[in-house]
A and B are shown apart, each in its own frame.
Chain A
Amino acid sequence: MNNGGRTSLVLGALAVIFTGIFAAFLADLPGRPAPRPLIPLVDKSFLSTATVRISYSDLVKAKEDLSDFDCYGCHQKSKPPVLTFDENQKLIVPKAHRDIVMGHGSHGRNNNCFNCHNENNLLVLQPRDGRDLKFSESTLLCGSCHGPTFRDWEAGVHGRTSGYWNRDLGAIDRKDCVNCHDPHSPKFPSRAPAPGPHSLHESTAAPAAH
């Protein structure tokens, strides 16, 4: 074979290879990195700024059902309810109030209904100093026994204040104690955490045990 022949052979082969590469790229044969598995959007419930509990005041504002607070729909004004206790002096919550779980303080130290409610007028709350408070003023009731926490709350240190840090520019909304604490069993409830982080280089494996 002469020189020219060899050159044509090499060039021909090159042309074929290049065409092959061209076609391969066009057809995306080398492939792209596999698309990452899509991270699901977080459930909207985790974005809600609502407090864990709906208070009497919230119910009034939202014009919701207030029948739980209509004490004299069932009770009689002339007959204050009588507290019942078991043999260990533990307060028994009657069936009619079974949605109330009593457990205020360690060993239920503050379970006595009339530490807070007024037995002669169930429609109001009554702290130890004897004044009557509306259900919408329950925070003052809590404050009558939890002085230091209440002062922290007034300063915006305990609990949550929403709205404007700059009071000249807008109003604040300081959440009531009962927005976070059930007055009957005030320990803050545990809850399911929102999903954790997904790393950039995540494999197709699901994020740690769900």
Chain B
Amino acid sequence: MSQTTPTAPDGDVTRRSFLRTSAVLATGLAAVAASLKPLFEMDDLPSAEQFMQKYYREMTPADMAVVLKRISNEVEKQYGIRPHVKDYKPMDGVEFVYALNLTRCIGCRKCVHACVGENNQSRNPEIQYIRVLKMPHGTFDLDKGDHNYAPESVPEKGFFYMPVQCQQCHNPPCVKVCPVHATWQETDGITVIDYDWCIGCRYCEAACPYWARRFNFAKPSIPKDRLNPEMSYLGNRPRKKGVMEKCHFCIQRTRAGRYPACVEVCPVGARKFGNILDPNSEVSKILSTKRVFMQLKEDVGTNPRFFYYFDV
């Protein structure tokens, strides 16, 4: 015995150093675990079902029914409201066009907020599809536009107002750059986004010349009493953190034959919407009778379905 204790360091040191090392390791691990605390508070990770979901255009109606049910359940769980989620399809013989009368617009921003309400955009942080630029008369240089104007009343002398939103281009650069085909143009002209397919790389945001795409940097928040329960898959169903969104001409309204929310709320009647393939629609009449109209940044070749015009 006396032989082993002090002079045989091996066994003793091994045990002691093992204990010491493990104690240090344990505290180290605990520290790392504690530092990861915020990760465990994440509550909007995709469910397994969503993760296994098929690509939109490969889904059968039965697949879609399952997906819509999952979305309804998720919305109900989060907001306590059972929504009506549908997958509205484009109508035959319909191509949407928007026309906005710059002689009328007074810059009141009601369209901005009607859109937020209709389309379940996040209120905190704020996501808005429409940006209204206050422009000095005599220029179309968007850089001269100011979107933070806050006078007592509008319109202000010497300025006109130009609301800008997704221009629903014939030739959308945002679609071309999407590495996962999560955004595409449908037959009625609406460029849509599948929020379940979007990976949040924001290439489309960079590609858009109109600054029309918005990214959910944070978890969107919508007060329960302001949630719009009439939802569409490619439209206004609630989004998650990390995906893109933008104006989709209120798919849930327009593909059911109704006007978009921004048209309905405009107090001056500056906003016109309809089917350009129907010669009697308002937009057909405007494009055939108004002498002065234009597309924004015509020179970049996007060929928008959104026209600005003047009354003369």
Contact = CB atoms under 8 A, between A and B. Distances in A.
A193 B35 contact: no
Q: Is the interface of A mostly helix, strand, loop or mixed?
A: loop
Contacts of A32: 38
Interface string A45-63: 0111101100000000000
B301 interface: no
Contacts of A192: 108, 152-154
Interface stretch (B167-175, B177-185, B193-201, B278-286): B278-286
Interface in B1-57: 13, 17, 20-21, 23-24, 27-28, 30-31, 34-35, 37-38
Contact of A164 (B35, B110, B117, B258): B258
Contacts, number: 173
A36 B125 contact: yes
Contact of B126 (A21, A51, A197, A209): A197
Interface residues of A, number: 60
Interface residues of B, number: 67
A164 B13 CA distance: 86
Contact of B148 (A7, A196, A200): A196
A159 interface: yes
Interface string A125-156: 00000000000000000000000000000011
Contacts of B125: 36, 39, 198, 200
27 contacts: A11-B21, A14-B24, A14-B28, A18-B31, A22-B30, A39-B124, A39-B125, A41-B123, A46-B110, A52-B267, A160-B263, A162-B263, A163-B259, A166-B258, A169-B256, A170-B257, A180-B267, A190-B106, A190-B153, A190-B155, A191-B106, A194-B108, A194-B109, A194-B112, A195-B109, A197-B126, A197-B131
Interface of B: 13, 17, 20-21, 23-24, 27-28, 30-31, 34-35, 37-38, 91, 94, 106-110, 112-114, 116-117, 123-126, 128, 131, 147-155, 217-218, 223, 226, 254, 256-259, 263-269, 272-275, 281-282, 285-286, 289-290
